[in-house]
Amino acid sequence: MQELMHHFIDNRWVASRGDRRLAVTDPYRETVIAKVTQGSAQDVDMAVSAARHALPEWRAMGGKARGDYLDALADALEARRDELETVSSRNNGKPRAEAAQDLSDAIACYRYYADEARRLEARQGEAVDTGEPGLVSRRYQDPAGVAGLITPWNFPLVSSAWKLAPALAAGCTVVFKPSEVTPLPEQALAEIALAIGLPPGVFNLVHGDGSNVGAPLTGHPGVDKLSFTGSNAVGEAVMAAAAKGTRNVSLELGGKSPILVTEDADLDLACELVLAGFCYNAGQMCSATSRLLVHHSIAEALYSRLNTAIAELSAGNPQLETSTLGPLVNAAQRDRVNAYLAIAEEEGLVATAADTLALPIQGYFVAPRVFRDVPLTSRLWREEIFGPVLCARAVKDDDEAVALANDSDFGLVATVVAGDAARAEALASRLTAGNVWCNSYQVAPPGLGWGGMKRSGIGRELGRAGLAAYLETRYVTRPA
């Protein structure tokens, strides 16, 4: 059994000052595969001090040198691909193919921001038109400072790349708290930082849960920038902590996203996109399109296809290439989803799902469910479940579909499936969501932005906006 009893601080493995250990599980075998230390506020303070000490040198190094380090990090991840796919799949429970996609996405993100770091250096001091005769000005972009980064358990290595890559490219130093549920894949980042010779204090990793590490990190006065991905309840606490000291904060929170299917849609494509939208990663996605709005004329045909597709899923050992549905990440998450299924029974909701889908006798599996004609007042329609549960309603036209899609507290993503591309884009333009896919799977290239509206968060990750989240702009103006 692996034991993670040390934090990575100032390029050293530092014994934790916390006196408790947290279990790390294999959600397929239902066994404890590691123990991770429960860090403390003292550990956080040591990490923040190291990051503050390293900040001036890292900032002064320039974008080209920082970009070279990010490329080296990407190279190291690629070199450890087989190992990291294995450990991610085992710790998180996702099928091996999904773990492989995660790693590819993370590598692409580090490479993208390596280039952005170099471009940032080239843009420093660029002239800005003041619009005033006799005045000239130049624009500079400086790192926000020490960044405190907190990631969830559903996409290890990916969520961390979305934060670490732009923060390091911008010239920030970081204190990173990975999820205590999936610490094994993220531990590799500390090992890689040491192997590539990243300067001491630039990257610091502290293990622990939200109460013992997350709260001290978000409340630490030495942290200038906070970036959090996770639940709304915790996100609000992070925002409250950031208010003290008026610190910069980015939040990527929950979703209850819609998928709209018009009467002229390709039914086979629609079935594929609907299934992926609520079953990929066993539905444990903030971007899950878990509300289906389908034109009434094709609803029965689509439901029939969905039942067949669910029956053809292969639930099993996520390490096997043949597995297409993995278990939920732990017993607590399985119990949370089952609690919603109990609510569905209380509300009298009718589920159609493939009874022929065989689930293993071990593992935290939940069979996918499709609930039809779900009332708008249902908790399953309005709340994020984070499991393979789809709520569906038949609609009479596009206007009703758009109105119901936007009738939500959240606005993270949406998908539109339509036979005509122009119609799909027209519908997309009417949806309140940060990302909308038209006749496409949920792709998130690093050059695009990511983030939501309403209660789905504040700010954007990925793309130029993701870099800007870790920068402060300075103008230097003088007479011509």
Cβ atoms 121, 198 nearer than 8 A: no
Examine the residue annotation and report whether 252 is marked as an active-site residue of this protein: yes
**Secondary structure class of 476 (helix, strand, coil):** strand
Q: How is the chain split among helix, strand and coil, in percent rounded to 5?
A: 40, 25, 35
Cβ atoms 227, 147 nearer than 8 A: yes
H/E element, 37: strand 31-38
How many whole angstroms from its chain centre is CA 337? 20
**Secondary structure class of 414 (helix, strand, coil):** strand
Pairing of strands 410-411, 453-454: antiparallel
- The pair phi, psi for residue 373, each rounded to 5°, is 55, 45
Q: What are 450's strand-pairing partners?
A: 461
Q: What are 231's strand-pairing partners?
A: none
Cβ atoms 198, 70 nearer than 8 A: no
Burial letters 146-178, b for 16+ CB under 10 A, else e: bbbbbbbbbbbbbbbbbbbbbbbbbbbbbbbbb
Cβ atoms 202, 208 nearer than 8 A: no
Residues counted in the chain: 480
Query: For residue 299, which of 357, 368, 373, 367 has the smallest C-alpha distance?
Result: 373
Q: What are 147's strand-pairing partners?
A: 174, 225
Residue type, 261: V
Residue type, 161: A
Q: Which of 85, 98, 180, 252 is catalytic?
A: 252
Residue 446: half-sphere exposure toward Cβ, Cα within 13 Å: 24
- Both tokens assigned to 167: 């923060």
Residue type, 274: V
Pairing of strands 225-229, 435-438: unpaired
Residue type, 312: E
The alpha-helical segments, DSSP class H, found in 254-330 are 267-279, 299-311
Cβ atoms 47, 206 nearer than 8 A: yes
Cβ atoms 292, 393 nearer than 8 A: yes
Active site amino acids: 252
